[in-house]
């Protein structure tokens, strides 16, 4: 069963690279703030690199001006996420999170079996709007689609 509006973000440890490898707890990331978490099936994959991440980079300041933190997540290791961020000149405040083992993705109920493409279990493409650890809006794509989780769509559908 996948995450729904009104659900609390599950508590899972994720990884990120800043001044070294860090373990971050999802409660610490989402409690006490407004945030958009968007997830992609894989760093460096075509739609993720050409459209999904670039949209959030382009509209990053619009989210920030509304007091919203932005997090990008993939079932990739933190070193891949860091390399992908550098390749796309991701702004410092847009946090790149690694769910390398897919634990958070499974806890959200949003896993995607991409084994037929040689990618194993990945995350579905989605975006969640979270306030103080509670999901307020879900934008979950159907497999192969990219519409509702785009930065433009999410911005247009955030609560006032």
154 near 38, Cβ under 8 Å? Answer: yes
Contact 156, 36 (CB under 8 A): no
Which residue of the set 48, 73, 97, 151 is catalytic?
A: 48
Q: Which two tokens stand for residue 120?
A: 């194993």
Q: How many angstroms from the chain centroid is the CA of residue 129?
A: 10
Burial of 10 (0-12, 13-18, 19+ CB in 10 A): middle
Any residues with CB less than 8 A from the CB of 106 and at least 6 apart, and which?
A: none
Note if 48 is an active site residue. Answer: yes
| 27 CB burial (10 A radius; 0-12, 13-18, 19+) | middle
Catalytic residue ranges: 48
């Amino acid at each position: 069963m996948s995450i729904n509006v009104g659900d609390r973000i599950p508590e899972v440890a994720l990884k990120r690279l800043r001044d070294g490898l860090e373990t971050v707890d999802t409660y610490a990331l989402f409690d006490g703030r407004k945030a958009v978490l968007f997830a992609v099936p894989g760093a460096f994959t075509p739609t993720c690199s050409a459209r999904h991440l670039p949209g959030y980079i382009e509209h990053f300041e619009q989210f920030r001006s509304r007091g919203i933190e932005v997090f990008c997540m993939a079932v990739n290791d933190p070193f891949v996420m860091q390399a992908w961020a550098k390749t796309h000149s991701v702004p410092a405040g847009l946090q790149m999170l690694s769910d390398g083992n897919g634990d958070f993705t499974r806890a959200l109920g949003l896993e995607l079996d991409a084994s037929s493409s040689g990618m194993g279990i990945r995350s579905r493409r989605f975006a969640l709007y979270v306030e103080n650890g509670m999901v307020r809006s879900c934008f979950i794509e159907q497999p192969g689609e990219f519409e509702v989780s785009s930065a433009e769509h999410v911005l247009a559908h955030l609560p006032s």
